[in-house]
Amino acid sequence: MQNLVVLKALHGVAVALLIGGALAVVYHWWRGWRAGDKAALGQTLQRPWLFAWLAMGLSLLIFPVSGWWMVHDTGWSLGQTWLLSGSLLYTLGILCWLLLLGRVNRMRVAGAAVSVGQRRTVLGLSLLGGAILVAALAVMVLKPV
């Protein structure tokens, strides 16, 4: 039973890292955009913000391992609909996050030569990925039957 408490704590820390990292990156971009910095979105991969991206990536890697371990410790079946739908949403969210990371990296390399369409694509990917990951979190927390 103590393993379950530790795993829940690890899962909670991973959620906090993911949300905190995402909010840090969005806040950094928003501050730069409000100041009139056209390359603010491309600079989110610079040194201090690299930590936020790494924290988000680490938390996204921890979720499947700690989640499977919690399911195993509680004795739930992996074939339950809420687990399968949450896993599918999580996988889609990870794909959006990876696409977003690639786009932002390309924007960082391009510097100030970033088009409005590229910015909209990044905004769309971030909103879609965030919404999908929040939906996966809601499915996992609420456990609908």
What percentage of the chain reaches a pLDDT higher than 70? 85
What is the pLDDT at residue 34? 78
Q: Give the tens place of pLDDT for each residue, 45-63.
A: 565 567 777 777 787 788 8
CA 1 – CA 72 distance, rounded (Å): 12
Q: Which domain holds residue 13?
A: 2-142
Between 101 and 50, residue with greater pLDDT = 101
Decide if pLDDT at 42 tops 70.
no
Q: Give the tens place of pLDDT for each residue, 66-77.
A: 888 888 888 888
2-8: Cβ within 8 A, 24+ apart:
3/69, 3/73, 4/70, 4/73, 4/74, 7/66, 7/69, 7/70, 7/73, 8/70
Q: Give the tens place of pLDDT for each residue, 102-144.
A: 887 777 777 666 677 877 888 888 889 889 988 988 888 888 6
Decide if pLDDT at 92 tops 90.
yes
- Span 40-49, mean pLDDT? 59
Angle (CA) 35-41-43 rounded to 5° is: 95
Q: Give the number of domains in the chain.
A: 1
Decide if pLDDT at 145 tops 80.
no
Crossing angle (nearest 10°) for helices 47-74 and 81-110? 170
